[in-house]
Amino acid sequence: MEPNASEPVVPVAEPVQSTGAASPLIQATAIQHGTPDAHLRAFIANSDHPCPNCGYNLRGLRASACPECNQELRLTIGLVEPKLGAWLAGVLGLAVGAGFSLMMMGYLMFTAMLWATNPFQQADVIFVIVLPAVFMGACLLALLRNRGRFRKLALPIRIGVAVTCWLLTLANLTVFSIVIR
């Protein structure tokens, strides 16, 4: 960034000089390090903002590092609300249901190998374990892949999707416990 001529020059630590002429590389690095971001400087010029690292008040800061803890600072843009709470709740809900069905499938495969039987021929095993595992796994995959699209939905719809995910898991566990006794 070009230094503004009307602004006071930021003091830069002098590089250690052993031979009289300073190394151009060290000097360039020192200037880069000490030059404050113009936006950052404007942002904290006349208002109180604590250093995110040590809490030191950065008002009127003239360098791009905190004078107290020496941490480099930068100005960033963030979302007002990340909108990921409902998405995470939905993912968790589906993961519990899909995870349970997959775990039961694994258990059945293990017992099938142990006793040389094929439990997957039974209709109730297909309907209560295999189908829920496939369906909930597909839902989980779809939700994971559409995080950006999900964020754009209205809040009631996002909450509705999250609740539906948990209801699917609840239905999955309920049907399982009724059929498999």
Among 41, 45, 52, 60, which residue's Cα sits nearest to residue 78? Answer: 52
Q: How far apart are CA 105 and CA 160, in angstroms?
A: 29
Question: Within 82-141, which residues bind Zn ion (CB under 5 A)?
Answer: none
Q: Please select the residue that binds Zn ion; options are 7, 14, 37, 68, rule is CB under 5 A.
A: 68
Our CB check for Zn ion shows the closer of 55 and 82 to be 55
Task: Tell me the closest approach of the beta carbon of residue 43 to Zn ion, in angstroms.
Answer: 16
CA angle 33, 36, 41 (to 5 degrees): 160
- The reply to whether 32 sits near Zn ion by the rule CB under 5 A is no
The contacts of residue 102 (CB under 8 Å, 6+ apart) are: 133, 137
- The reply to whether 65 sits near Zn ion by the rule CB under 5 A is no
CA separation (Å) from 119 to 104, 105, 122, 172? 11, 10, 6, 19
- The reply to whether 69 sits near Zn ion by the rule CB under 5 A is yes
Our CB check for Zn ion shows the closer of 7 and 68 to be 68
| Radius of gyration for the chain, computed over Cα atoms and rounded to the nearest angstrom | 30
Question: Within 44-63, which residues bind Zn ion (CB under 5 A)?
Answer: 51, 53-54, 56
Our CB check for Zn ion shows the closer of 12 and 51 to be 51
Q: Which residues bind Zn ion (CB under 5 A)?
A: 51, 53-54, 56, 66, 68-69
